[in-house]
């Protein structure tokens, strides 16, 4: 391939610029460009933030001589990751994370768009007014594009006008919990609340994302009595969130999703199960619903694919999340389901907190705040643990870009295709690195991440958002010029 110009080190630009690459018309090239039609050796032409052509190596034309070309050699060029499940806690709990640190971490990890969850910020995004606060907090402070899910809670589920105002304000869809969320202004919904909301979502043609666990006992407790078991043992926590909680919730949901079929009363609505952990009965129920024509999808997360309950050390509360990480046999079944297409996509469920809430010194799994802090590491984690299963670049693009874009209604994102926004990650699949104190980590509290101490493969070289080179080898653009995304 003949290239006019090859960049080596691209210096940090003055603070007035949003990009580490000072051009609005250029080509990026490599031996591995992942497109919807497969991986080619070639180049992508980008102009004013859009992809305007994709050219295979053998068809490279002389017009490349008239623009700048960045040759990434053997690295992989693929669509930027879209994380549909992240908690950035902004506004109100920025000591947990915040838009600047969270989106810098996303950019460093090859995530070019994320959809922020409606809880853990203060207030929760359950009204039009709360969404406006969320958008104001994001403007001028995000390094990757950020959209927003709204919250479905009993108050707006029972008030069509309130729900319509939230949807009209631009949320990309709604999220609900079928168990207590742990956040006071985000109460749980029942299947009756979800049934009430589905016709409204059908009219707007936006999805409902559901945390699918329900309480099985009669006193509403999620924890055993103090002293009944060793609280430093992960197995003790695992007993409090059995797979039957997921199964029971999904059983309730699929009695509703039949109305999303063609001709149903909620045709146009779509149900999405977040962070599936149980790869046995719960997954089978979802597969059967799909086969019947219900509009339903499901995601899982890299931590369920990377870790197994038997291997979690006593007291290491970095691994606490809900639903919990289950046993090694369940992990293998999750991989099977992902590879076979029964699980549709992946998300981080990046759920940070301040370190003292994780009780790292006490190691009490029953009292520690749950959540895996992972946003920067999802690309190398998926690749590292997936290599033994033979995963491909095309599968990564499907799980992390194409299908998430479809769920969120992002019609110009999710693929390296002509006309799409130039949201691109460049990474080296064979380069390994250690996540230790010397590695540049941009999440606010690296110490709480279960991935710290790991050796991973898949180093991100560069991340482009709308054609701006926002991250390159540890450096970010000086100005945060990515955008809040609203449904219009």
Tokens 């926590």 belong to which residue? 237
The CA distance from 208 to 149, in Å, is 9
Contacts of residue 438, Cβ cutoff 8 Å, sequence gap at least 6? none
pLDDT given at position 11: 32
Q: What is the pLDDT of residue 357?
A: 98
Per-position b or e across 257-286, b if 16+ CB within 10 A of its CB: bebbeeebebebbbbbbbbbbbbeebbebb
Average pLDDT in the 273-302 region?
Answer: 97
Q: What is the reported pLDDT for 10?
A: 33
- pTM flag (> 0.75): yes
Q: Evaluate if residue 218 carries a pLDDT over 50.
A: no
pLDDT value at position 63?
A: 54
Region of poorest pLDDT, from 215-229, 254-268, 270-284, 400-414: 215-229
Instruction: Please compute the mean of the pLDDT values over residues 265-277 and round it to a whole number.
Output: 97
Higher-confidence position of 314 and 219: 314
For the segment 284-300, the average pLDDT, to the nearest whole number, is 97
Q: Quick check: 23 and 65 in contact, CB under 8 A?
A: no
Report how far residue 394's alpha carbon sits from residue 379's, in angstroms, rounded to the nearest whole number: 13
**From the centroid of its chain, how far is CA 381?**
13
User: Do residues 35 and 415 make contact, with C-beta atoms less than 8 angstroms apart?
Assistant: yes
For the chain, the domains span 80-411+430-457
Q: Is the pLDDT of residue 1 over 80?
A: no
Cα(34)–Cα(44) distance, integer angstroms = 10
Residue 150 pairs in a beta bridge with: 174
Indicate if the pLDDT at residue 16 is higher than 60. no
* Chain center to CA of 430: 23
Query: Pick the residue with more confidence: 226 or 153?
Result: 153
Average confidence (pLDDT) over 196-214: 97
The answer to whether residues 408 and 390 touch, using CB atoms and an 8 Å cutoff, is no
- Reported as a single tens digit per residue, the pLDDT across 436-488 is 988 999 999 999 999 999 999 999 999 999 999 999 988 999 999 999 999 98
Task: Give the other-Cβ count within 10 Å of 221's Cβ.
Answer: 10
Pick the CATH number of 80-411+430-457 from 3.20.20.140, 3.90.1150.10, 3.40.50.1000, 2.60.40.420: 3.20.20.140
Confidence of residue 221 (pLDDT cuts 50, 70, 90): low
CA distances from 450 to 225, 240, 354, 420, 436 (A): 27, 21, 14, 35, 12
The three-class DSSP label of residue 375 is helix
Please state the rounded mean pLDDT for residues 213-229.
63
CA distance 189 to 390: 40
In the predicted model, what is the mean pLDDT of residues 283-294? 97
Cα–Cα dist 375/84, whole Å: 11
């Amino acid at each position: 391939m003949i290239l006019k110009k090859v960049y080596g080190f691209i210096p940090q630009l003055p603070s007035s610029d949003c990009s580490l690459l000072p051009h609005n018309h250029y080509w990026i090239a490599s031996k591995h460009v992942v497109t919807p039609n497969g991986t080619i050796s070639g180049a992508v032409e980008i102009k004013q933030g859009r992809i305007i052509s994709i050219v295979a190596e053998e068809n490279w034309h002389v017009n490349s001589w008239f623009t700048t070309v960045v040759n990434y050699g053997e690295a992989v060029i693929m669509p930027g990751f879209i994380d549909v499940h992240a908690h950035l806690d902004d506004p109100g709990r920025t000591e947990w994370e915040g838009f600047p640190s969270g989106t810098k971490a996303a950019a460093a990890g090859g995530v070019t768009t994320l959809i922020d969850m409606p809880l853990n910020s203060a207030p929760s995004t359950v009204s039009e007014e709360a969404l406006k606060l969320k958008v104001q907090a994001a403007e001028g402070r995000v390094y990757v594009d950020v959209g927003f899910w709204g919250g479905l809670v009993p108050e707006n589920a029972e008030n069509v006008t309130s729900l319509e105002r939230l949807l009209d304000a631009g949320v990309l869809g709604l999220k609900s919990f079928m168990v207590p969320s742990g956040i006071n202004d985000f109460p749980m919904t029942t299947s009756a609340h979800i049934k009430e909301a589905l016709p409204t979502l059908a009219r707007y043609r936006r999805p409902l994302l559901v945390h699918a666990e329900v309480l099985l006992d009669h006193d509403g407790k999620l924890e055993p009595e103090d002293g009944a078991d060793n609280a430093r043992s992960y197995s003790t926590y695992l007993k409090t969130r059995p797979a039957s909680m997921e199964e029971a919730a999904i059983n309730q949901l699929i009695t509703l999703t039949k109305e999303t079929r063609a001709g149903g009363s909620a045709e146009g609505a779509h149900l999405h199960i977040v962070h599936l952990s149980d790869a046995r009965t719960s997954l089978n129920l979802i597969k059967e619903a799909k086969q019947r024509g219900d509009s339903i999808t499901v995601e899982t997360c890299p931590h369920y694919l990377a870790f197994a309950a038997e291997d979690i050390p006593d007291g290491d509360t970095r691994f606490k999340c809900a639903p919990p990480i289950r046993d090694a046999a369940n992990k293998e079944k999750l991989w099977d389901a992902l590879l076979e297409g029964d699980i549709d996509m992946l998300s981080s469920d990046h759920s940070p907190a301040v370190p003292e809430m994780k009780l790292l010194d006490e190691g009490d799994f029953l009292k520690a705040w749950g959540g895996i802090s992972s946003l920067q590491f999802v690309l190398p984690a998926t690749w590292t643990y997936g290599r033994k299963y033979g995963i491909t670049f095309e599968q990564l693009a499907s799980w992390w870009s194409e299908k998430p874009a479809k769920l969120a209604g992002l019609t110009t994102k999710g693929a390296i295709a002509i006309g799409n926004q130039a949201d691109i990650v460049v990474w080296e699949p064979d380069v390994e690195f250690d996540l230790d104190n010397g590695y540049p980590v941009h999440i606010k509290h690296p110490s709480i991440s279960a991935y710290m101490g790991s050796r991973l493969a898949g180093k991100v070289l560069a991340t482009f958002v709308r054609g701006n080179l926002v991250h390159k080898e540890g450096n970010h653009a000086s100005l945060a010029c990515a955008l809040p995304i609203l449904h219009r």
